Structure 1
Amino acid sequence: MEQIQVGDSNFCGGGSTRSDGNVLVGASPRLDTLPEDCISMVISHTTPRDACVVASVSKTIKSAAQSDLVWETFIPPEYASLVPRSLNCSSKKEMYLSLADDSVLIDDGKKSFWVEKSSGKKCYMISAMDLTIIWGDSPAYWQWNTVPESKFEKVAELRDVCWFEIRGKISCRMLSKGTHYSVYAVFKRANNRSHGFDHTPIEAGVGFVGKEATKTFVFLEPGGRDPRGGYRNTGVSHAAVSRAFRTRRPWMRMPREEEVEGEKEAGGNVVEEPKERGDGWSEVKLGKFEINDVGCGDGDEIEFTLMETQMGHWKSGLVFQGIEIRPVKEEKVVTK
């Protein structure tokens, strides 16, 4: 939490007032001796985590930290009305926590929204219904099903394609300013089976529309032993995959451990593999981007892609729920 110099002459009028009406500039009264609305105003310029921490200082500060004046500033105004009335929230803090603990559907049920509990940053999942999926309208290649564990009415189940391509966009104005975001594909195997993804790197791209996207490679199956060559996918670098595609060589030999370590030391990015989530789905990181403190223009958008069109073999058996966009944990952000 930002340290506040209570005795600063610019803070709430500056200093304290003596009985004779004169202001003692530079005096340092306790924070909890200030008017409660003044304390609340100060806390409202921090974060939800800070508000919870500072509430332990004293009863007066706790009252100020839990006030509606504080928590209303943490709730994105455009989504305040979306909190279900059935929750009967008695305070703005309860309303905030409901947006942090559970997502709400927006844009006719094609997106879900929530806030990161500790920071109040905006988070989204864009449903498969709101993505551009090549051949997605052809039942021979993709099916649109309802599954109870999905946030959305429909999910996209891959039946069989050799040209695999998914694209999506989101307006920058929907996101939080001054925030580093990561983008994830959220999916699962259909009936615990899939085909054509176990040894196939998928190209992922994330970037601002109209500018060159940052590209990498991901696997949509966890690392395993390749029966053709006996190598594991885990630890394969982006550089190694790029070389394979540039030379159009079959994806048959994985680099040795010393090759992987050498590329890591040279600054190479390791190809991302999927991780299981607590909600029964898997996710794989596609990339990241930053919304600066100024924000974006009206027409600025972030675009993300997931595609494999080089190998030419058939792929099937994955169920896509959507693309999730959430803030990078602040402690992991390195500022040079």
Structure 2
Amino acid sequence: MQYTLIIYGQKHMIYARDLSIAWSDKDEYWSWLPLRYDISSEKLVDAAVLEAVCWLDVNGKFDTRELTLETTYEVVYVVKLEDTASGWNIPVNLKLTLPDGKKRPQERSMCLKEHIGKRWIDISAGEFVTSPDNAGEISFSMYETKSCCWKRGLFVKCVEIRPKN
């Protein structure tokens, strides 16, 4: 997978267009909206806007050799749920798989319902410490594919890989 790597200081961003989003090529399921990356920026990025799906799967990959060694990083999805969002009673699953293959993937679930109509939020997929032993490609995903519950109103701006403070 090719990805756009934008670096702001120590923060690396993979924008929504460079993530693998199931059904994003179908207008009835996802659309694209140019947004300012943040309030202080004139830079526009395309956010993926969920129109309606019952199979949510947003994933990506990143080569950790781009990062500073011996640093703890976190992988976060930057998302927002519009006021009219629905179908978020079922938690989404988040998964981070490290390149060393020795450890089990980090997995967690999070209910997004409480974030409907609020500002952009960061959803952590996990964290890791860079070292020569685990250098290579990580993969991360946000998904909910078992409930068959239709979801609407999610904006996905990017995934950030950033040092954890």
Listed as ranges, the matches of 1:264-283 within 5 Å are 280-283=119-122
1:142 aligns with 2:30: yes
- Contact conserved, 2:30 with 2:50, CA < 8 A, in 1? yes
2:85 alignment partner, one of 162, 183, 194: 194
Which residue number in structure 2 is paired with residue 203 of structure 1? 93
Q: CA deviation digits over 1:267-291, x for unaligned, max 9?
A: xxxxxxxxx7xxx521122211111
Per-residue deviation at 1:316? 0.7
1:156 aligns with 2:44: no
Aligned partners of 2:97, 2:31: CA distance in 1, in Å? 29
Which residue number in structure 2 is paired with residue 317 of structure 1? 153
Per-residue deviation at 1:174? 0.8
Change (3 A) 1:222 1:141: same
Q: CA deviation digits over 1:139-182, x for unaligned, max 9?
A: 11000111235554311000000000011111011111001111
Aligned length, in residue pairs: 157
SS of 1:129's partner is helix
Change (3 A) 1:146 1:223: closer
Per-residue deviation at 1:210? 7.0
Change (3 A) 1:165 1:146: same
Runs ≥4 in structure 1, deviation > 6 angstroms? none
SS of 1:136's partner is coil
- Contact conserved, 1:173 with 1:296, CA < 8 A, in 2? no
SS of 1:310's partner is coil
Q: CA deviation digits over 1:240-259, x for unaligned, max 9?
A: xxxxxxxxxxxxxxxxxxxx
1:308 aligns with 2:144: yes
1:214 aligns with 2:106: yes
- Contact conserved, 1:147 with 1:155, CA < 8 A, in 2? yes
* Bigger RCO (CA 8 Å, 6+ sep): 2
Amino acid at match of 1:283: D
Aligned partners of 1:223, 1:131: CA distance in 2, in Å? 22
Per-residue deviation at 1:111? 3.3
Which residue number in structure 2 is paired with residue 113 of structure 1? 7
For structure 2, the residue ranges without an aligned partner over 5 or more in a row are: none
SS of 2:148's partner is coil
Q: What is the root-mean-square deviation of aligned Cα atoms in Å?
A: 2.3
Which residue number in structure 2 is paired with residue 6 of structure 1? none
Percent identity (aligned): 29
Which residue number in structure 2 is paired with residue 49 of structure 1? none
SS of 1:176's partner is coil
Which of these two proteins has the greater Rg computed from alpha carbons?
1
Normalising by structure 2, we get a TM-score of 0.84
- Contact conserved, 1:206 with 1:289, CA < 8 A, in 2? no
SS of 2:84's partner is coil
Aligned partners of 1:326, 1:303: CA distance in 2, in Å? 15
Per-residue deviation at 1:296? 5.0
- Contact conserved, 1:177 with 1:295, CA < 8 A, in 2? no
Give the helix-richer structure, 1 or 2: 1
Aligned partners of 2:64, 2:36: CA distance in 1, in Å? 31
- Contact conserved, 1:205 with 1:287, CA < 8 A, in 2? yes
1:285 alignment partner, one of 112, 124, 133: 124
